[in-house]
Amino acid sequence: MEQSLKYLKPEVVAQLANMELRARLVVEGFITGLHKSPYHGFSVEFTEHRQYMPGDEIKHIDWKAYGKTDKYFIKQFEEETNLKSYIILDASKSMDYSSNGHLRKVEYASYIAAALSYLMVEQRDAVGLTIYDERVRTSLPPRATKSYLKQLLKELENLKPSNKTSTADSLHYVAEQIKRRGLVIILSDLFDDPAKVTTAFKHFRHKGNEVIVMQVLDPMERSFAFGTDAVFRDMETKEELTTQPWHIQKAYQQSMKEFLDFYKKECRENNIDYVLLDTSMPFDKALFEYLNKRKRIQ
């Protein structure tokens, strides 16, 4: 068990050879740990069958399953799907940041996106992927086949952050493109105008989608515990500021608290699931939030 659980640690997953292996081992580690607190009572079923229903073609009945269970089951084909999910990933330059000993935010978010995609396809749910910075760069519509999953994982493998962020405009654009309601999962540091960003969240809800917002930060962005003199460089504008962090740490922490509290409040009031993550956290928190949401909307 411990061997599987280690693949929930970001620093371990980062050492794996490719995105497909990362996704598989993170999901396997997650499933292994589901019985442990606080996940007791949850399970993930990767079924290839569903019960026979009137109108189904008899030729699709799995007679071997009938022989074992005395019940009629239809073998599911890969194109059958229960839910459409849309993963939206921020790949702007601010997501390229990492403090000492941690993954870059974009790496951490891409591993979550990969693991979620893998988990969804195994459950016969369709998943799509949108990658944006100052505009949408990649848009792959939801599908449920394993061959399509490989394409999504390849996009995540080759991801390179660039340009400034325009989260609000990009999310509005994506909301307009979604024609069939589903589950929208947003992975971003949300470093944009909070009022405009939350208006974009509401756009998805207005169109009938369920939404999970996963805000990904670096631990130092939350604590600002830099210590002595430091030079701060804006990842997007390249502007620099030299200061003694301890002088402004308290004011920074208060501003950060207000920034995060605004997102929490707006999401809560609009029935949007909000998850705060930082790149030191194991991946099971993000996967469990998805699984919990998936269970509620079945």
Q: Could you give the CA distance from residue 25 to residue 50 in angstroms, rounded to a whole number?
A: 26
On whether the CB atoms of residues 171 and 204 are closer than 8 A, the answer is: yes
Separation of first and last alpha carbons in the chain:
30
On whether the CB atoms of residues 128 and 84 are closer than 8 A, the answer is: yes
Fold of 84-296: Rossmann fold (3.40.50)
Judged by DSSP in three states, 212 sits in strand
Tens of pLDDT along the chain (298 residues)? 466 688 899 999 999 999 999 999 999 998 887 766 455 555 565 556 667 777 777 777 777 777 777 777 776 654 455 789 999 999 999 999 998 899 999 999 999 999 999 999 988 899 999 999 999 999 999 999 999 999 999 999 999 998 888 999 999 999 999 999 999 999 999 999 999 999 999 999 999 999 999 999 999 988 776 666 656 566 667 676 666 666 677 788 889 999 999 999 999 999 999 999 999 999 999 999 998 898 888 6
- The pTM for the full model equals 0.83
Please report, for the chain, the start and end positions of each structural domain, with discontinuous segments joined by +. 47-76, 84-296
